[in-house]
Structure 1
Amino acid sequence: MSKVKLIKSVILILWLACFANIFIPLSNILNYLLIFLIAAHCLEFIIFYKKIKNNKIKNFLMVMIYGYLHIQKLDYYEKTKQ
């Protein structure tokens, strides 16, 4: 398994744990983490909005899930395209 796939899997598990905590309360820390993740990823989308040129809805959702990892992927595709 590549590093990127491993990191993406860990991020998805983290999101799932945070959302599961809404329905099955485990810890307040997960609630605060969910709020932080949503705020940080919204801020990332606003900051890097100019880099996202096409399919903004899909890319917004990907940034909300994976954050800067998705922005790096967009940069990589942009550089290899030229």
Structure 2
Amino acid sequence: MKRVMTGALIAAVVGIGGLGGAAAAQASHTGDQNTRQDCRTYSSVEQCGQPKLNDKQRACVDSSVQQGMTERRATVECHAFA
């Protein structure tokens, strides 16, 4: 019984420490978001802001959206691959 209680106590302390670390990481991440542009990554391609698309890329976005892809993802993928 003593081992079970000790194990539970250790798990609780580790859990609390983990939550504190996660909260600190979240706080710093939120601060970074305010200074950065709107960035997203699809198919291993990161895109920040709104790219300027040529006619072929715009047609690719329109086609992809009609097929069910989100516009944000289609914009990144068509900008990178079309």
Alignment TM-score, normalising by the size of structure 1: 0.30
Higher strand fraction (1 or 2)? 2
Higher helix fraction (1 or 2)? 1
Q: Which has the higher contact order (CA 8 A, sep 6+)?
A: 1
Alignment TM-score, normalising by the size of structure 2: 0.30
